[in-house]
Chain A
Amino acid sequence: DQQVKQNSPSLSVQEGRISILNCDYTNSMFDYFLWYKKYPAEGPTFLISISSIKDKNEDGRFTVFLNKSAKHLSLHIVPSQPGDSAVYFCAASALKFGNQFYFGTGTSLTVIP
């Protein structure tokens, strides 16, 4: 049972434009959400996170938005750069679950120069 879903397996964006990656979750117990970036044959690297008490968190070109009522979060990258091309995973966790992460299936972002 996939509790965290990323319905778009791939996304292509022109350099300089905004990339929007979406993530949906089903478990209302989740209280912490993260985005990871992953290159092939490497481990994921942390990008940005958001607690359920917030609806927005910004870090440089990356902004994560959380809509708790819709159980939806999104990652905005602006402006997109070719180096941003990678697979992006969203993950959700809950203190109740002991920091166990539930990952989405990933979205492969390609930024076209």
Chain B
Amino acid sequence: GAVVSQHPSWVICKSGTSVKIECRSLDFQATTMFWYRQFPKQSLMLMATSNEGSKATYEQGVEKDKFLINHASLTLSTLTVTSAHPEDSSFYICSAWGGSSYNEQFFGPGTRLTVL
């Protein structure tokens, strides 16, 4: 299947700093990219949907000023956690969808964020 990468795979930062997570589709152009957050022993919670060249659509309860999403190209989307706090510590996963020719989303390996 298609390959989606995420970088970094694990990041530890101090409270108050900002962290950028990259999501790349390596062998296809992603019309849409999704960002998920997973808490321990819980489901994947969709945070936002981003389409290339347009503003992301955030799910209810997700602070768009805190979780900045940029989908600058058809192969790259970034999630920036601004002024991170310990409660932002989580596992963040992106997925990419190539449009109608693909039936499923392809997921990245995830990024574990730990905020001290």
Contacts and interface: CB of A to CB of B under 8 A. Distances in A.
A105 B43 contact: yes
A2 to B, nearest CB: 8
A98 B49 contact: yes
A32 interface: yes
A100 B41 CA distance: 22
Contacts of B91: 41
A104 B105 CA distance: 16
Nearest to A97: B49
B93 A44 contact: yes
Contact of A32 (B6, B49, B103, B112): B103
A41 B103 contact: no
A103 interface: yes
11 contacts: A9-B41, A42-B109, A43-B93, A43-B95, A44-B107, A98-B32, A101-B95, A103-B45, A103-B46, A105-B42, A105-B43
Contacts of A106: 42-43
B34 interface: yes
A43 B104 contact: no
Contacts of B6: 43
A67 B21 CA distance: 39
A34 interface: yes
B110 A103 contact: no
A59 B44 CA distance: 25
Nearest to B4: A43
Contact of B43 (A45, A98, A104): A104
B69 to A, nearest CB: 15
B60 to A, nearest CB: 10
Contact of B103 (A2, A49, A104, A105): A49
A59 to B, nearest CB: 13
B1 interface: yes
B43 A36 contact: no
A103 B112 contact: no
A34 B1 CA distance: 15
A99 interface: yes
Interface string B74-116: 0000000000000000010101010000011111111010000
